[in-house]
Amino acid sequence: MIESSESDKGPISIYSKWAVLGFCIFFSPIFGGFLLRKNLVDISKKTEGSLILLVTFGMAVLTAILASTSIGGSGTTILANFLQGVLLVEFTYKKYFPNADDSPKKSIWRPLSVSLMVVATLLMLMIMLGVPLQEVKP
Residues spanned by the domain of 23: 11-107
Question: How many domains is the chain partitioned into structurally?
Answer: 1
5 domain-assigned? no
Q: Is residue 127 part of a domain?
A: no
Whole-model pTM?
0.83
Residue-by-residue pLDDT tens, the chain, 138 positions: 334 344 456 788 999 999 999 999 999 999 999 999 999 999 999 999 999 999 999 998 988 888 788 777 668 888 999 999 999 999 999 999 998 888 899 999 999 999 999 999 999 999 999 888 776 555
Evaluate whether residue 119 is within a structural domain. Answer: no
Does residue 33 sit within a domain? yes
> Does a structural domain hold residue 62?
yes
- Residues 30, 62, 78, 49, Cα dihedral to 10°: -20
Q: With respect to residue 134, please indicate whether it lies within any of the assigned structural domains.
A: no
Residue 31, in any domain of the structure: yes
DSSP 26-84: HT-HHHHHHHHHHHHHHTT-HHHHHHHHHHHHHHHHHHHHHHTSTT-SHHHHHHHHHHH
In a domain, 42, yes or no: yes
